[in-house]
Structure 1
Amino acid sequence: MSFQHIPPMMLQTLPVEIICTIIRFIGSDQLRKQEACCLSVCKRWYAIAKPLLLEDLKLSATQLVHAPHNVQPKLRTFLRHLTLDVHGPKGWPAEQDITKLNEILTLLVERNNRLASFTLRVRSEFDPASPLTPRQRYSSWDPTRFLSILGTSNLSHLVIDTFGSELSSAIHLCPQLALQIPSLKSVRLRMRRICRQILEFPQGDNVIRSQLESLVINLSVPSVDQFFARFSRHCTEPGLSSELYDEMITTGTEIARQTPRLKVFKIVCYRHRIVCSDTVVMNCITGIKTMIPGSWAWGDEGDPEPDPLILTNR
């Protein structure tokens, strides 16, 4: 039965819980489209739906900074899932707005029991004359303050996917992230610079038990064209991408033994060749390496299971 066939009085007498379920089923993105007219059914529906529209947001960093000031308290109250999806310089704040970006992120995350997931996706624009060099490196943003407060919130899911962009080349983020990752349940990382220190979680009797259940690290970024693949580099030591891959697997396998709560721990790397291409997924818990045709971001995002014939032992 469609909304058009439901008597208006019946819609107005539905319990709030059922209305919320219907609105969430439709989805906030769909509700924001002009053709979604269900919010105009009645004032009661609109009043119920208005805060739900703030539960799941996808913004650029520029949009977040330029949002009206009176919106920020509402975001802290209602926001549950935030995605900062930045593509090129237009989505990144001007230099004078970087401080404000840190202030807003701190407000939304610090000691917030509402926000459950945060995703940062930064994609660079590339110069056609030099396709391996990003035009924008976002080097003016120092995320240290933001990372230091992750453990104070109720955040359970974190994605940092910078598509090869340099967020801050002068700052070694891996030790800072290693302090915060155990307080989260699910983490996905794809960074331009990374090293095994990101897996050196705090140890000792006074350390809070790790909550981490799922960790996926991708050591490759999307190809600029069909001939080149780009890989993460070591934060402090020069070397080949294969050396970083082996180092991360060795450390990851040891961490998997020390973290019994972990159910998923994968290290993903895209291997590009002229004849064929595949994604190598190492399961650090089982020690099984899977060769998956094509390029996968995380190796488990709704794609069909790989053919068992292409499974190989470590």
Structure 2
Amino acid sequence: MPLLQLPPEILLHILRYLGSQFFAHDTRRLTISRGWYHLAWTVFLRDVRLTPESLETFTQNDLILQRSSPHMVSVDISLPLRPKRDLSPSPPADDDEIDGPFLHLDSSLAKFATILPGCSGIRSLNIHTHVYISPEHFGNVASLNALRVTNLLSPPHLTSLDLDTAACRLESQPDSNVHVCNVISALLPSLRRLRCRMEHICEEILQLPSAGSATLEEVIINMSIFRYHDDDIIASRFSKSCGAAVRAVTSLRIALETQAVTLAARIPNPRMVRIISHKGPFLEVYAFDAITKTRLQLENNLEWDADGELLDEGNETEDSESDLFADDSPIEPVFNPYS
């Protein structure tokens, strides 16, 4: 029997096996026939991957937004941001060309967020920021509207959240007092999996509401922020504490680890609850396991859930703990390829 003559439910099963990326690689694959298009469109929208360019295109058409919302299951938003040019004496000649996709990013994020409360099918949300690095911008900091980010966390049945905005600073507007940690904390009862790394973070992100959670299994908070260029680490720093008060990184780490232990004790089936940090100057990466209350050394800062080497508990004195994570410098230059 020809493929297009198969019953719709069988054809839909085949298309789901191909997956949304099959159509994303070449959208002409959606237009084989009218019946094919109707089914392929629903598969294409199951796993939505957005960049500043595609986000702008996606949000410019209200009809597409409305048609898409019932079918989305996972959303991946990748944002390569531009650092501020406050320190640059003169911007590059091609700035207009490079900035093009970013000019409407704030409004695109705001519009996309308006449909998410009605997207009952979304289970997974990944938001990652990256920084475009050039000689003119090295060391400068990119920023993103904190309210835009928290508004994106609104799908009603979200079970997996992967939020990595460490490449930028989340800035609150004067008329809004947004605390991202509190917003994420409120999601814990319905989440099964949380991974988070932000420029500013505090232990409130791990405070489980009184209702508790019967589904939460994995929580990973990463305090280590590495900047890469061609797979080489060119800078490193730690997350800072939320709020205006200055707080040592060791104090923040201990607060997060303490709250992680409390969280692990309150969830029925914890699979992994860990806090990741690093030690300078050689950038060894460590993970505190809040379930076993042990510390592991990881091979790198890329695989957050990787198995690690268990550290000798006999060597973990209070003094060595303090020395291990005592470096609270905002930036540790490791290698600057443009110097």
**TM range, smaller chain:** 0.7 to 0.9
Separation in structure 2 between the aligned mates of residue 12 and residue 23 of structure 1, nearest angstrom: 12
Aligned to 2:218: 214
State how many pairs are aligned.
288
Structure 2 vs 1, CA of residues 123 and 169 (structure 1 numbering), >3 Å: closer, same or farther?
farther
1:178-203 superposed Cα distances (whole Å, 9 cap, x missing partner): 12222222111011100011112222
Separation in structure 1 between the aligned mates of residue 146 and residue 267 of structure 2, nearest angstrom: 35
Structure 2 vs 1, CA of residues 273 and 88 (structure 1 numbering), >3 Å: closer, same or farther?
same
TM-score, normalised relative to structure 2: 0.73
Matched, 1:200 2:223: no
- 1:168-207 equivalences under 5 Å are 168-169=171-172, 171-203=178-210, 207=211
Matched, 1:299 2:291: no
Aligned to 1:77: 70
TM-score, normalised relative to structure 1: 0.78
Separation in structure 2 between the aligned mates of residue 248 and residue 121 of structure 1, nearest angstrom: 22
Separation in structure 2 between the aligned mates of residue 101 and residue 282 of structure 1, nearest angstrom: 34
Structure 2 vs 1, CA of residues 255 and 80 (structure 1 numbering), >3 Å: closer, same or farther?
same
Structure 2 vs 1, CA of residues 12 and 99 (structure 1 numbering), >3 Å: closer, same or farther?
closer
Please tell me the root mean square deviation across aligned C-alpha atoms, in Å: 3.0
Separation in structure 1 between the aligned mates of residue 40 and residue 251 of structure 2, nearest angstrom: 51
- 1:81-160 equivalences under 5 Å are 81-89=74-82, 90=99, 93-94=102-103, 98-99=106-107, 101-108=109-116, 110-126=117-133, 128=135, 131-134=138-141, 136-139=142-145, 141-147=147-153, 149-150=154-155, 153-160=156-163
Give the conservation status (yes or no) of the 8 Å contact 1:24–1:52: yes
| 3-state secondary structure, aligned to 1:290 | strand
Separation in structure 2 between the aligned mates of residue 63 and residue 233 of structure 1, nearest angstrom: 32
Q: Which runs of 5+ in 1 are unaligned?
A: 1-8
Structure 2 vs 1, CA of residues 241 and 164 (structure 1 numbering), >3 Å: closer, same or farther?
farther
Tell me the CA shift for residue 298 of structure 1. 1.9
The one of 8, 14, 37 aligned to 1:16: 8
Aligned to 2:165: 162
Separation in structure 2 between the aligned mates of residue 272 and residue 21 of structure 1, nearest angstrom: 51
Aligned to 1:246: 254
Give the conservation status (yes or no) of the 8 Å contact 2:69–2:118: no
Tell me the CA shift for residue 11 of structure 1. 2.1
Give the conservation status (yes or no) of the 8 Å contact 2:181–2:202: yes
Tell me the CA shift for residue 57 of structure 1. 1.2
Tell me the CA shift for residue 100 of structure 1. 5.3
Aligned to 1:57: 48
1:98-141 superposed Cα distances (whole Å, 9 cap, x missing partner): 35532421312x1432111111111223464674432x212475
- Residue identity in the other structure for 1:232: S
Which structure 1 residue ranges, 4+ long, deviate > 6 Å from structure 2? none
Q: Percent identity?
A: 22
Aligned to 1:273: 281
| 3-state secondary structure, aligned to 1:262 | coil
Give the conservation status (yes or no) of the 8 Å contact 1:61–1:91: no
Give the conservation status (yes or no) of the 8 Å contact 1:218–1:297: no
Separation in structure 2 between the aligned mates of residue 61 and residue 270 of structure 1, nearest angstrom: 31
1:148-199 superposed Cα distances (whole Å, 9 cap, x missing partner): x45xx11111111113311225643212221222222211101110001111
Separation in structure 2 between the aligned mates of residue 87 and residue 38 of structure 1, nearest angstrom: 28
Tell me the CA shift for residue 78 of structure 1. 1.0
The one of 293, 296, 299 aligned to 1:287: 293
Tell me the CA shift for residue 80 of structure 1. 1.0
Structure 2 vs 1, CA of residues 69 and 217 (structure 1 numbering), >3 Å: closer, same or farther?
same
